[in-house]
Structure 1
Amino acid sequence: MGYEGDDASEGDSPTGVDDPVEGGASSEGRASLVEYGIEDRPPMGTSVVLGVQHYLTMVGANIAVPLILAGLMGMPEDVTAKFVGTFFVVSGVATLAQTTFGNRYPIVQGAPFSMLAPGIAIVAAAPAVAGLPDWQSKLLYLQGAIVVAALAEVAIGYLGVVGRLRSYISPVVVAPVVALIGLSLFSAPQIVDVNPGVAGAQQNWWLVGLTLGLIVLFSQYLGDRSRAFGLFPVILGIAGAWTVAAVLSVAGVYAPGSIGYVDLRSVASAEPVYAVYPFMWGMPRVQASFVVGMFAGVLASIIESFADYHAVARLSGVGAPSERRINHGIGMEGLMNVFAGMMGTGGSTSYSENIGAIGLTGVASRYVVQIGATVMLVVGFVGYFGTLIATIPDPIVGGLYIAMFGQIVAVGLSNLKYVDLDSSRNLFTIGLAVFAGMAVPSYMSAVGDATAFQQGLATVPVVGSVLATNAVGGTLYILGTTNMAVGGIVALFLDNTIEGTPEERGLADWARIAEGDEDFQSAYDRFLRGEGTSAESAD
């Protein structure tokens, strides 16, 4: 339901009437869990807090990626802090671009894990550049690979390659792929082992449980008693658990370096302002083998984003995305990956964490996400912010992940409401896709890195020399380590080769609620041709 009452700001489209909502659903038709729909605009103060909450859900990943890369590159501590801040600047710009000019879904953009594996391989193999520190040489080669691979993503998006596949993708395919987004992160180090390099799993389960318990308490048990609890369960849960951890750290219960310790002194000693700008580390370097490896990561990112678009549409109470919306979303992600490479980060893609937050809070407002992106863009230049965010202990992030990724799994499975679950072909396809999506990446992890995988492929008779190349073996490794890619490929193949009727596959029901291409208005339509509605133009 759209929210009605005093919180509607001046100029808002009133909810609960017959105003159109972009995406093919009216306010009356929204899912009951939606508190603020895509076109709704809460008051500014509320929007700022809600926007920051959206970003807090992805802070763990958006910090983890730069910290992993910085550690592998041997980046100095002062440079690392600026490196982390740059990721937030890129995230803010990319989110504003996607929500304004791209697919216009309320979805946060941030550092992708799908591009992290090729990034690690590039950092490990990058040659030295004369006159530059080793870490800077590695970063320049990483930048070059991202920029060139992203140009291919731009072409894939705006030429409509992904959108054309939409007619072959039914709920039987989308359900396991979206579910695998959540399932793939059940073993994230923030959940199971915050010190994976140390023998024996190590975790502060008390702090994990406290964070999860607070989020569940606010969102499920107290949400109907107070709008504050219903709207801000994530930020209240994180703040409550962080406060407890900080008090215990000051009291000496948590010693420096222990799991759960909050280093408040690091915030005081942080650099006040960072100068962040394109090519600040130097001109990117391009090596063909690195580009091929990064393109595999880009393909995995595209598959994940395709599933994300369906998940966010489902949670926002609107129809499944049209071909045009998908194309514009992927194209914009490519452009923002080019920008990310120019800025010297690890790329940009849609964030599943933000989608989980929509499920927990019912806040699907594009305006809220744009306000949050603006805040992150500004504070990304502030050293104190990045350092403060970095003090959130991993167990707190782990508790947050458990709540959100479980929600994403449920959203994926909810697509099965359109599918005939008495059909053996559907059950076989869904079950095999989910199992393969979990098993193949687990096998790849046991194999080791891309080099070890390619060495194994080299032993295959006749075609071994071809399979062992970076172009083939490297791409297969990256796709094979991505749960959504494996599950999606298996489901897509089976669903389109095993005989089944449109009603059986859920395509008939899905077609009735999906938006048409005419329902999506691109930036060109709205700004240059002036075809947008007044509500849309206000964005």
Structure 2
Amino acid sequence: MMKLLVSGLQWASFMLASSLVAPIAIAGLFGFSEVDTAMFVQRTMFVLGVSGLIQALFGHRLPISEGPAGLWWGVFAIYAGFAGTIYASDTEALRSLEGGMIVSGIFFIVLAAFGLLNRLATLFTPTVTFVYLLLLILQLSGSFMKGMLGLPNEAGTVQPMMMLGSFITLLLAYYFSAHRLNWIRQYSVIISFACGWLIFIILGQAPAITDHGQGWIQLPHLFVFGPPLFDSGTIVTAMFITLLLTANMLASIRVMEEVIKQVTGSKPKGSYRRAGLAAGVNQILGGGFSAIGSVPISGAAGFVAQTRNASIQSFLVGSLLIAVLSICPPAMNILAALPAPVGYAVTFVIFSKMAGFAFAELDKEKNKEQSRMISGIALLTGVGAMFVPAAAFTEFPVAVTSILNNGLIFGTLTAIAIEQWLIFFHRKKSKAGNY
């Protein structure tokens, strides 16, 4: 029982560290007060915890944690700029986003009900999965490095003490992940978090625990920003976002299947249809509770690979802990005081293992020359898009911007498009040769 609880707490720590940045950043974009920010974070964590339970019990049934979808994060950022122009106020823009997430949920359910997700899953060949994973690592690398250096901050410069604390935490995380004792390797994530937090306390860089006077229990409310708005622009955007979130979800399921095979020796089979139905419910929860739409995150595969723990029971305990702690403001205030550089340093170690999975996928391809060509074009496209300023796409529709301004999605879609075109071309050439 104690082993299960500790494993669950380790999952909860990982979920928290990988999910706190998005709601805090979005709250800053919309100018939320400290209390409103705390409540937004709590609602988001509640949705993530419940979403993880729904997927693990009724959806794909794999230990894949839910995180704030980067695509929704980007759309929130774009809509923050619409306040006062397209929308009369921040509140109206947020109500439109509530509606967008609900529409996305409905569209997810429709795709799953008609069996379209299984067809989309066939597009994720080893080459496409390689491109997706490598772009994911490259896209996050900037955030990891900035976070470990104490950026961004008011001064706009690297914080030497934070950099020192991050470096020590990083070394300890790698040490624990490769320790000769099995139990230390298995619990390396939570041990690294604890040691990193202690280091930052010693260095005087740990943030103070704040009390916003919310009491001991704070149940999440529905439609905090008001009734959802369903305008045509948001509906179209939500439909495009759903298709892109589907790509994220399918890639995460496929990678986790491979990792569990490495850890346990047997490959599970996640249900794409059930995962799609569960994802639809989770998007509706995100809109209903005025939070951020979630998506299964690929980083969970790195977590399982590092801890060598593919137990679904441990994951369920972790998700339940996140959901329960989210309605207890004092507990969330303590957990939210985890120094951000500690989270970035420990997560850096987890994601560094993802590179191995990426190249292992590429090794599965029989036509190496074609695979390398597709990968080269897609990686150049995706990485190149990461260097284009977000402001460069202000004249484009939101749906188009969400693709062009996201190197991960743009590069992955490029890989899918090129590979499918080559498959079609070879089939057509083969048929012509038979006549």
Q: Do the two structures share a fold, i.e. TM-score over 0.5?
A: yes
User: What SS does the aligned partner of 2:208 have?
Assistant: coil
Structure 1 residue corresponding to 2:301, chosen from 355, 358, 371: 355
2:228 is the counterpart of 1:284:
yes
- Partners of 1:282 and 1:480 lie apart in 2 by 31
Structure 2 residue corresponding to 1:370, chosen from 299, 316, 323: 316
CA separation of 1:137 and 1:275: change in aligned 2, threshold 3 A = farther
Structure 2 residue corresponding to 1:453, chosen from 367, 388, 393: 393
User: What SS does the aligned partner of 1:187 have?
Assistant: helix
Decide which structure has the larger Cα Rg and report it: 1
* Cα distance, 1:115 vs structure 2: 1.1
Which structure features the higher share of helix residues?
Answer: 2
Identity percentage of aligned residues: 19
- Partners of 1:430 and 1:89 lie apart in 2 by 38
Which whole-Å deviations, capped at 9, do the CAs of 1:445-489 have from their partners, x for residues lacking one? x2x33xx4253xxxxxxxxxxxx4x2xxx2222112333322222
Which whole-Å deviations, capped at 9, do the CAs of 1:59-103 have from their partners, x for residues lacking one? 234211111121122222112212111111111111111011111
Figure out how many residues of one structure are paired with residues of the other and give that number: 419
Equivalent runs, 1:96-175 vs 2, <5 Å: 96-126=53-83, 136-175=91-130
Q: Give ranges in structure 2 of 5+ residues lacking alignment.
A: 427-435
Contact 2:166 2:341 in 1 (8 A): yes
* Cα distance, 1:369 vs structure 2: 0.7
User: What SS does the aligned partner of 1:263 have?
Assistant: coil
User: What SS does the aligned partner of 1:367 have?
Assistant: helix
- Partners of 2:267 and 2:142 lie apart in 1 by 32
Structure 2 residue corresponding to 1:244, chosen from 189, 196, 199: 199
2:32 is the counterpart of 1:75:
yes
CA separation of 1:300 and 1:415: change in aligned 2, threshold 3 A = same
TM-score (norm 2): 0.88
Contact 2:208 2:337 in 1 (8 A): yes
What letter corresponds to residue 362 of structure 2 in structure 1? L
Bigger Cα displacement from structure 2, 357-366 vs 175-184: 175-184
Structure 2 residue corresponding to 1:342, chosen from 256, 280, 288: 288
CA separation of 1:49 and 1:122: change in aligned 2, threshold 3 A = same
* Cα distance, 1:187 vs structure 2: 0.7
CA separation of 1:157 and 1:267: change in aligned 2, threshold 3 A = same
2:176 equivalent in structure 1: 218
Structure 2 residue corresponding to 1:479, chosen from 392, 395, 403: 403
Structure 2 residue corresponding to 1:416, chosen from 349, 362, 378: 362
Contact 2:139 2:386 in 1 (8 A): no
Which whole-Å deviations, capped at 9, do the CAs of 1:223-259 have from their partners, x for residues lacking one? x32x33121101100100101212332xxxxxxxxxx
* Cα distance, 1:393 vs structure 2: 1.5
CA separation of 1:329 and 1:198: change in aligned 2, threshold 3 A = farther
Structure possessing the higher relative contact order (Cα contacts under 8 Å, 6 or more residues apart): 2
Which whole-Å deviations, capped at 9, do the CAs of 1:289-344 have from their partners, x for residues lacking one? 2333344333332211111111111111144756xx12221231121111111011
Contact 1:87 1:345 in 2 (8 A): yes
TM-score (norm 1): 0.72
Q: Give ranges in structure 1 of 5+ residues lacking alignment.
A: 1-43, 250-259, 456-467, 503-539
- Partners of 1:196 and 1:412 lie apart in 2 by 33
Equivalent runs, 1:4-403 vs 2, <5 Å: 44-126=1-83, 136-188=91-143, 189-191=146-148, 194-195=151-152, 198-202=155-159, 204-220=162-178, 222=179, 224-225=180-181, 227-249=182-204, 260-264=205-209, 266=210, 271-317=215-261, 318-319=266-267, 321=269, 325-403=271-349
- Partners of 1:295 and 1:200 lie apart in 2 by 40
- Partners of 2:11 and 2:407 lie apart in 1 by 24
Contact 2:35 2:212 in 1 (8 A): no
CA RMSD after TM alignment: 2.8
1:34 equivalent in structure 2: none
Equivalent runs, 1:480-499 vs 2, <5 Å: 480-498=404-422
- Partners of 1:192 and 1:429 lie apart in 2 by 35
